[in-house]
A = this chain, B = another copy of it.
Amino acid sequence: MHPHAPRRIRFNAFDMNCVGHQSPGLWRHPDDRSSEYNTIAYWTHLAQVIERGRFDGLFIADVLGTYDVYGSSNRATLAAGTQVPVNDPVLLVSAMAAVTEHLGFGITAGTAFEHPYPFARRLATLDHLTGGRVGWNVVTGYLPSAARNMGQRDQAAHDDRYDHADEYLEVVYKLLEGSWEDGAVVRDRRSSVFTDPDRVHEIGHAGAHFTVPGIAITEPSPQRTPVVYQAGTSPRGLRFAGENAECVFVAAPTRQRLAQAVTGIRAAAIEAGREPGDVKVYTLLTVITGPDEAAAQAKHEDYASYIDHQGALALLSGWMGIDFSQYGLDDVIGHDVQTNAVQSAVDTFRASAGDDEPWTVRRLAEWVGIGGFGPVVVGSGAQVADELLDWARETDVDGFNLAYAITPGTFEDVVEYVVPELQARGAYPTDYEEGTLRHKLFGRGDRLPANHRGSGFRIGALAMSGGAER
């Protein structure tokens, strides 16, 4: 036990504009409403639930293609409703913003498929409409099936995608940070001046991938650049995160792995001239809770009975690039399945589960079938609170990106049973701070801090930095 107050725990809710995001098959559960993903009411209700629970935000994942590694087709994916059909995430934001006051929205959008000029306008528009509550989860690629439907033969090579994304972000930073000065918009009814043209600047960008000579067509929004989220874990992805990300999402099944990931991310921030605390790290985790431990355990068993094994393996096949349709559900990993990557993943999952037995493909599907690669924590509110605090203490993680087993039930349970326990331990806020999402996260204002890459593209940064930044 530590003598000082426990560290603060942060929550994000993890969802996607689709059915059964990380819990294939659970759309069949009578209490699950994920098949109402295509209605506004589902999203406004969810936003209100997690705002009541003082979550930092709702993080909406996205793919623009189907998982088609399993059986070399998308048949299993379609049948199970595994992340297909999938609707656009950005279009959900204004409805949810209208019924909430503080909740943040972390929206996934790729750098591969839309030109940064109109995309920067989308970001600015969302930041205006939400009063500064938007984050952008930068992804550099989608599924290969998405690339093909955009007329490309496949995704660009991994590191090339990051080089392309570097320039993409440069254009976005220049438009949102370096085109309109603070105070350029004067809205002066007497002098008839809406915007002072002397204080709006062409960005003059000419790079390897993009040519953007002109001004941003949006006025500065509360945060200018929305909070930058990222989830890459490769060395190149880590460098990108160190330079750009303010929040990083990781998926680590054990505390040891998570501690390593957190250390790596903070080191990458330092490498980029930032402070270790300049990046908040959220780890993927699913909570199943209830009024007491027995109720939570019963709920877990009930949920597990709805897992769609084929749907889970279709997801896993896409993530790992291994076609699991070639194996039977009772095949034993290490015996019938002899693939190093699978063995390594299963070893980690077994360690997390405290399980000594060999795993079958079925067991693997059931691990992935609730909450994907993240652990599942089952127990009373007090038990879950203690376990999350242990995770945070041992790993230096800032918070949890909470997947659902069923939605919005899983989130409602966390708000009802876990949040009050964390609050009672002084580890969770009882109310939001005022201000933008960035200010709520870091407590030092609405804008990117001076040591962030994006600040180097501000008006005046050229002179201040002796020209080094441009």
**Does B124 contact A87, Cβ atoms closer than 8 Å?**
yes
Answer whether residue A35 sits at the interface, using C-beta atoms and an 8 A cutoff: yes
Which chain B residues border A213 with CB–CB below 8 Å?
A: 148-149
In the complex, residue of chain B having the shortest beta-carbon distance to the beta carbon of A203: B149
Provide the A121-140 mask, 1 if CB < 8 A to any CB of B, else 0.
11011101100000000000
**Are the C-beta atoms of B97 and A95 separated by less than 8 Å?**
yes
B-chain residues with CB within 8 Å of residue A187 when the two chains form the complex: 35
Q: Shortest Cβ distance from A311 into chain B, in angstroms?
A: 9
Q: Does A345 contact B (CB under 8 A)?
A: no
Complex contact B87–A218 (CB within 8 A): yes
A38 CB within 8 Å of chain B: yes
Residue A436 is within 8 A (CB to CB) of chain B in the complex: no
CB-CB under 8 A for A115 and B150, given A87-B128, A214-B66? yes
Q: Which residue of B has the minimal Cβ distance to A73?
A: B197
B residues in contact with A73, CB < 8 Å: 197
Give Cα distance in the complex from A218 to B99, angstroms: 26
Q: Are B129 and A85 in contact (CB under 8 A)?
A: no
A464 within 8 A of B: no
Do B129 and A92 touch (CB < 8 A)? yes
Decide: A98 and B66 in contact? CB cutoff 8 A. Answer: no
Q: A122 contacts B78, CB within 8 Å?
A: no
Q: Is the CB of B193 within 8 A of A38?
A: no
List residues 97-122 of chain A with CB under 8 A from any CB of chain B: 97-99, 113-115, 117-118, 121-122
Is A78 a contact of B118 with CB atoms below 8 Å? Answer: no
Contacts A92-B129, A113-B118, A195-B85 given: A74-B28 contact, CB under 8 Å?
no
Q: Copy number in this complex?
A: 2
Shortest C-beta distance, A124 to chain B (Å), equals 7
The CA of A124 and the CA of B66, in the complex, are separated in Å by: 17
Query: Is A25 on the interface with B (CB-CB < 8 A)?
Result: yes
Partner of A85, one of B84, B149, B218: B218
Cβ of A114: which chain B residues have Cβ within 8 Å of it? 114-115, 118
> In the assembled complex, how far is the CB of residue A310 from the closest CB belonging to chain B, in whole angstroms?
9
- Give the CA-CA distance A99 to B95 in the complex, in Å: 9
Q: Is A65 an interface residue (CB 8 A)?
A: yes
Taking CB as reference atom, which chain B residue is nearest A93? B91
Q: Mark A346-369, 1 if CB is under 8 A from B, else 0.
A: 000000000000000000000000
Are A81 and B194 in touch, CB under 8 angstroms?
A: yes
With A74-B215, A115-B151 given, name 7 new contacts (CB 8 A): A84-B195, A86-B121, A86-B217, A87-B125, A88-B118, A98-B99, A118-B150
Binding site for B on A (CB under 8 A): 17, 19, 25, 27-28, 35, 38-40, 44, 63-66, 73-75, 78-81, 84-88, 90-99, 113-115, 117-118, 121-122, 124-126, 128-129, 145-146, 148-151, 185, 187, 189, 192-197, 200, 210-215, 217-219, 221, 308
Pairs A–B under 8 Å by Cβ, sample size 10: A40-B94, A75-B197, A79-B197, A85-B195, A85-B218, A93-B94, A94-B94, A115-B151, A151-B212, A192-B308
